[in-house]
Amino acid sequence: MFFDELMFEHSEQMKLEVFHSLSTVMPGEYQLYYFAEQHALTYHQISKLIGEIDKDIEQMYPQWKKLLIGNGKVRIPEKRMKLDKYRFHLWRQTVPYQFIEAVFLGREINVIDFCKEKGIGRSTLYRKLLNLIDFLKEFDIKVNYNPIDFIGEEALIRIIFSYLFWIGSRGIDTPEFANKELANQMLQRNIEIGYETESYIGHKQLLMSLYVANARLETGHFVEKKVALSSVFSETPLFESKILGNLPFIPKGKMEDELYFYYFFVYILHSYSDVNDVMIGKIIDIFLKKQKNHVVTQLVERYLQSFDKNKLQMTPDQFRVLTANLLAIAYSYYVYEHPLPDLESLTIPVNLENKEYIRLVEKNKEFFERTLKEPQFEKFQVAQGHFVRRFTNMTLPYLIHFDSINKLQLGIALENNPILQNNLKVFLNRLNFVELEPFQIEKAEEYDVVIHSSSIVTEELPNIQHSFLWDIGYGEKEMYWLYTSLHKLYLEKQ
């Protein structure tokens, strides 16, 4: 994912990819060549990488039993380390992490002293920070070296690093600068004023955001006044004493600006998926009732009206969730009049093989190119590409339906033994985008996929569209790869 490209060098990215493979297969012993083939590596390369992974894990767990067991084999234990823990362990050792953490600790160290402390040269520092520097430039944020700091729109700095620290840690651990007690007190005050996210992970993510924001506040970094925030939240009661009143490091002259940003942070910045989340109702109330004529409300309503009613099918609850998320996205760009960072762009790759996605992108490109030329929407033009991507990602799940006409047609060519076929069939029958039947040779070229237990099938029938070799003694370890292969083909078929 893009986060890994920002923070890790190629060798570290390869370790993460191999670790992911090691963590998704069934427990047991495997030939090294199995993983080498998956990652297009030589025997020597895969052996070296897994050896380094063993050393990394031993740093965390001295009693760790090595994955490499000799004779060209790898032992995958029943209980294994999770990918998010391994990623955070690797990240904390990188130069980018240590540089970022030094900034958030407010150490006011210059680049020469930082390099001496880490035992690296300045050219090495710049090289290792290059991807991060280029990423920050998109948001007009610069890296300062004397003292080390991040300079630019403070709100964007907090948003970006809230995402980065969340992705890098997933909440399993906290950075050194985190003031846990203060963040938990603030979260408790959220509950007192009627905000309590229904999402367990959302709760954890908000805590990380508070760690980041409070660290910046404590080091004297404050947000700029935004009239667009006060105009929307002006009717929202200012619980100043309950939220920020106990933070002595905020000057009185900055309190209101920080409070409005805090509302933006809590109400707007995060996406919602649970219809019972109280925040959805609050966003709907703000825009569809109190701010019905707001340009953000008008844009989202226009967008939703651009779909054929038979195409965009959803329950009233689903419509509320989608509407609230689109309003939050549009309002973010309205406030800052600038492309904004978002969680999905740092984690989810664009799926150019999904035909439904491509069609929706083209539709949205045409919609926003036309609509944002209208005078009331012109201020959104600076983020037109972001609107297309984010509205597409948010709307797409409601357009994809597992229509029986477009299901994958599978032919099952296994030994004629129900016991051998049982686990595979149980697995496939749980997938609502496939239909299966015993393989019939006269229909060989009609099947989207033939799942077979012998290569003789593809040798004798070379015109089969797609095939998957299911070894009867090993196939159950392949369920993950079978699922991903089938789902990829299903999306291509749409």
Same domain, 414 and 363: no
* C-alpha to C-alpha distance for 130 and 318, rounded to whole angstroms: 42
Residue 329 lies in a domain: yes
The CB density around residue 8, as the number of other CB atoms within 10 Å, is 21
Coil, helix or strand at residue 176:
coil
Domain end call among 398, 430, 457: 398
Structural domain contains residue 168: no
Long-range CB contacts for residues 306-311, cutoff 8 Å, separation at least 24 = 306/363, 306/367, 311/399
CATH number where 483 lies = 3.40.50
DSSP summary character for residue 349: P
Q: What type of residue is 247?
A: L
Kindly list the distances between the CA atom of residue 106 and the CA atoms of 110, 239, 463, in Å, as whole numbers in the listed order.
11, 29, 64
Let me know whether 393 and 283 are in one domain.
Answer: yes
Q: Is 337 left (phi over 0), alpha (psi -120 to 50) or beta?
A: left
Burial class (CB in 10 A: 0-12, 13-18, 19+), 65: exposed
The CATH number of the domain holding residue 44 is: 1.10.10
Q: Is residue 272 part of a domain?
A: no
DSSP E strands: which ranges in 343-442? 408-413, 434-438
Residue 34 lies in a domain: yes
Asked whether residue 434 falls in the same domain as residue 379, the answer is: no
What are the mean pLDDT values of the chain's consecutive 10-residue runs (494 residues total)?
Answer: 90 93 87 91 94 93 88 87 88 96 93 96 96 95 95 95 91 89 82 64 84 94 88 61 68 86 80 76 83 91 85 79 92 89 81 77 96 95 93 82 68 71 81 87 90 80 87 63 86 78
For residue 434, what are the β-bridge partners?
A: 408
Query: Is 197 inside a domain boundary?
Result: no
Phi, psi angles (nearest 5°) of residue 438: -60, 140
Instruction: Judge whether 50 lies within some domain.
Output: yes
Helix, strand and coil in the chain, % to nearest 5 = 60, 5, 30
Q: Is the pTM of this model over 0.75?
A: yes
Q: CA torsion sign, 80 to 85 to 90 to 93?
A: negative
Q: Is residue 485 part of a domain?
A: yes
Burial (CB count within 10 angstroms: exposed 0-12, middle 13-18, buried 19+), residue 2: middle
Range of the domain at 348: 278-398
CB 297 within 8 A of CB 287: yes
Same domain, yes or no, for 379 and 409? no
End position of a domain, from candidates 54, 80, 106: 80
Q: Are residues 417 and 484 in the same domain?
A: yes
Whether residue 393 sits in one domain with residue 310: yes
Does 171 reside within a domain?
no
Q: Are residues 437 and 330 in the same domain?
A: no
* Contact (CB, 8 A) for 436 and 410: yes
Same domain membership, residue 429 and residue 360: no
31, 58, 80 - which closes a domain: 80
Residue-level pLDDT at 82: 81
Total count of domains within the chain: 3
